[in-house]
Amino acid sequence: MSMGWSLWVMFLVVLNMGISLFLFLWGPRAKIPSQPDQTTGHAWAHGTIREGLRPLPRWWLLLSGSMFIGGIGYLVLYPGFGNHKGLLHWTSHGQLAKAVAANDAKLDPLLQRFDLYSVEQLAGDPEAQQMGQRLFDDNCAACHGRNAHGNQALGAPNLTDNDWLYGGSGKDITTSIHDGRGGVMPPWASLGEQTVKNLAQYVLSLSGEPHDAKMAAAAEPIFKGTCAACHGADGKGTQALGAPNLTDHIWLHGGSLADIEKTIHDGRQGHMPNWDKRLSDDDIHVLAAYVYHVSHPDVGAQ
């Protein structure tokens, strides 16, 4: 507050308190001419209401007096009298900082400890596993299943097999949870029914499943020309696109001939929601550690 404003506020405070004090002191002493019947002589409503003269009740005087003194005390202790800071040096910023500090102290000290570790390190911590399991049951199990084994009907991958659409490092898993993921396998019905059937045989051949070699051979150039852009020339997938490895016997949308033909014919889309709006960064950190733990059960406490 500038000096001018400070002086103005001080002036207003002194003026108001002065007027109150004056009324206090003057009120009881003031001589108001009165009639013999203890009224002022003012009458309303044809004389049915007359203005009486009574001393102020004692309780009212005491209450007002103590509030007046309390007001002065407040202005001495707290800010309010212009730029005077108050003897207690109270500030609203200080009050907020205190409240925040008290809240932080109450916050689970566990989370503060977890912050010190990487996802990979935290995965070995039994307390983090417990907290992660609770968060997983609440938020993730609906799609990925209670045991995180996934759900083919939803295209939600098994998270325990250490086979990753988008990468299995602590950082990749954290990104998957924080930002969400959406893999798009386009539909290829336009290539023709026969080509789709041939391609399905070729996909089966990639993982060494029983297949029709002639049909697969017929599809090979199409795979190399069309599908390899995402799944790679060797069919091992591209994590940057979430295009799955087709050689590993692990199927996001089912590995039967009918499933694979349907995938190629109609396309597939997976939607992993983003959790950055619904969960705190600390929660996501613990969840990533939990996912890392269930996919690396051999990682011991460190």
Query: Which of 273, 282, 296, 299 lies at the binding interface for ligand HEC (CB under 6 A)?
Result: 273
Task: CB nearer to ligand HEC: give 17 or 141.
Answer: 141
User: Which residues make up each annotated binding site?
Assistant: 140, 143-144, 185, 227, 230-231, 272
Q: 203 burial class (0-12, 13-18, 19+ CB within 10 angstroms)?
A: buried
Window 72 to 131, contacts with ligand HEC (CB under 6 A): none
Residues 286 and 170 sit within 8 Å (Cβ to Cβ):
no
Q: How far is the CB of 116 from ligand HEC (least distance, A)?
A: 21
Q: How many CB atoms lie within 10 A of CB 231?
A: 22
Count of chain residues binding ligand HEC (CB under 6 A): 51
Task: CB nearer to ligand HEC: give 19 or 213.
Answer: 213
User: Which residues make up each annotated binding site for heme c?
Assistant: 140, 143-144, 185, 227, 230-231, 272
**CA-to-CA dists, residue 86 to 3, 4, 60, 78, 91, angstroms:** 17, 19, 29, 4, 9
Distance CA 26, CA 22 (A): 6
**Distant-in-sequence, close-in-space partners of 270: CB < 8 Å, separation ≥ 6:** 155, 156, 157, 165, 181, 182, 183, 242, 252
Tokens of 137: 């049951």
C-alpha atoms less than 13 angstroms from C-alpha of 9 in its C-beta half-sphere: 13
Task: CB nearer to ligand HEC: give 20 or 118.
Answer: 118
Q: How many CB atoms lie within 10 A of CB 103?
A: 9
Q: Which one of 20-28, 75-83, 116-124, 179-187 is the stretch in contact with ligand HEC (CB under 6 A)? A: 179-187
Window 206 to 265, contacts with ligand HEC (CB under 6 A): 223, 226-227, 229-231, 241-244, 246, 251-253, 260, 263-264
Window 138 to 157, contacts with ligand HEC (CB under 6 A): 139-140, 142-144, 154-157
Distance CA 100, CA 94 (A): 10
Residues lying near ligand HEC in the complex (CB under 6 A) are found at 139-140, 142-144, 154-157, 159, 164-166, 173, 176-177, 181-186, 188, 199, 203, 223, 226-227, 229-231, 241-244, 246, 251-253, 260, 263-264, 268-273, 275, 287, 291
